[in-house]
Structure 1
Amino acid sequence: MTTNHITSVSINSVPVLDQDEALQFYSTHLGFEVQDDVDLGFMRWLTVALPGGGVQLLLELVGGPQQDADTAAQVRELVTKGALGGLFLTSSDVHATFAALRDAGVDITQEPVEQPYGTDFGFRDPFGNHIRVSQPAG
Structure 2
Amino acid sequence: MTISLQYCNITVNDPDEALAFYRDVLGLQLRNDVASDGFRWVTLGSDSQPGLEIVLSKPHAGRSQADGDAMQELLTKGSLPMLVFRTDDLDAAFEKARASGAEVLQEPMDQPWGPRDCAFRDPSGNTVRISQAA
For residues 75 and 14 of structure 2, the distance between their equivalents in structure 1, rounded to whole angstroms, comes to 12
Instruction: Specify which of 76, 90, 93 is matched with residue 94 of structure 1.
Output: 90
Kindly indicate whether residue 55 of structure 2 is the aligned counterpart of residue 58 of structure 1.
yes
Shift >6 Å, 4+ stretches: none
Say if 1:91 and 1:134, in contact at 8 Å, map to a contact too: yes
For residues 42 and 102 of structure 1, the distance between their equivalents in structure 2, rounded to whole angstroms, comes to 33
Say if 1:42 and 1:65, in contact at 8 Å, map to a contact too: no
Other structure's SS at 1:84 match: coil
Alpha-carbon distance change, 6 to 83 in structure 1, aligned in 2, over 3 angstroms:
farther
Q: CA deviation at 1:27?
A: 0.6
Please say which of residues 35-44 and 102-111 is displaced more in the overlay. 35-44
Aligned-residue CA RMSD (Å) = 1.6
Show the 5 A alignment for 1:64-79: 64-68=61-65, 70-79=66-75
Say if 1:37 and 1:44, in contact at 8 Å, map to a contact too: yes
Other structure's SS at 2:117 match: strand
Runs of at least 5 residues in structure 1 that lack an aligned partner in the other structure: none
Q: CA deviation at 1:133?
A: 0.3
For residues 72 and 26 of structure 1, the distance between their equivalents in structure 2, rounded to whole angstroms, comes to 22
Tell me the percent identity: 34
> What amino acid is aligned across from residue 28 of structure 1 in structure 2?
D
Alpha-carbon distance change, 42 to 6 in structure 1, aligned in 2, over 3 angstroms:
farther
- State the TM-score, normalized to the length of structure 2: 0.89
For residues 29 and 73 of structure 2, the distance between their equivalents in structure 1, rounded to whole angstroms, comes to 28
Instruction: Specify which of 30, 33, 38 is matched with residue 37 of structure 1.
Output: 33
Other structure's SS at 2:75 match: helix
Q: CA deviation at 1:81?
A: 1.8
For residues 48-69 of structure 1, the C-alpha deviation after alignment (integer angstroms, 9 at most, x for no partner) is 112343420110211123121x
Other structure's SS at 1:26 match: helix
Larger Rg: 1
Runs of at least 5 residues in structure 2 that lack an aligned partner in the other structure: none
